[in-house]
Amino acid sequence: MRLFSLVEETALPGGALLQEFTDRGEYTDCFVARIENTVTFPTYVETFYTTRLFRLERLILKWLISRPSSDEQARRLSRNETDSFAAWKEYRRSDDQLVMMDFRQQTCSWFMLGSDENGTRLYFGSAVMLDEDESSARKMKWTYRALLGFHRLYSRALLQAAARRLRH
């Protein structure tokens, strides 16, 4: 059995708001989980930000960078009643997508919901802004490069946690 049996890496789907970052040459990734039941976009976003795993990240953000957050704030963000959450601020939103930019404007988190006759597709992805070095080449900062493997594993784990909760 695969560790993240519900999650696959995939290309960005058509119309993805994260495509803007790919077009600019930034690093992007995209993961998808398919579940048989139908969920709403607000339910997906709220569930994602309130999983046990993400609550741990929220605790770390509270202590390391003084960016506390609550389940109620996640609920308000999911319902489009606020445009910020923990270390992120809304960058772009549509009825079925949300891009959140971190307060340093170096990374984005992206959510998208798709549906068909077989259920719901939960998309989650990221963008990492590249820097120019002395030769004017665009490169990922060394800290992000060093953590990229962990980031990809963690992204899968986050999406898997949300998908499992939404399946029930």
Residue pLDDT, tens place only, 54-90: 999 999 999 999 999 999 999 999 999 999 999 999 9
Domains of the chain are 7-166 (3.30.530)
Question: Which residues lie below 8 Å from residue 162, measured CB to CB, with a gap of 6+?
Answer: 33, 44, 47, 48, 51, 122, 124
The percent of residues in the chain predicted with pLDDT above 90, rounded, is: 85
pTM over 0.85: yes
The pLDDT tens digits for 125-166 are 999 999 876 566 778 889 899 999 999 999 999 999 999 999
DSSP code, position 136: S
Check residue 138 and report its DSSP letter. E
pLDDT band of 168, cuts 50, 70, 90: confident
pLDDT digits (tens, 9 = 90+) for 41-60: 999 999 999 999 999 999 99
3-state helix, strand, coil in the chain (%, to 5): 35, 30, 35
pLDDT of residue 1: 44
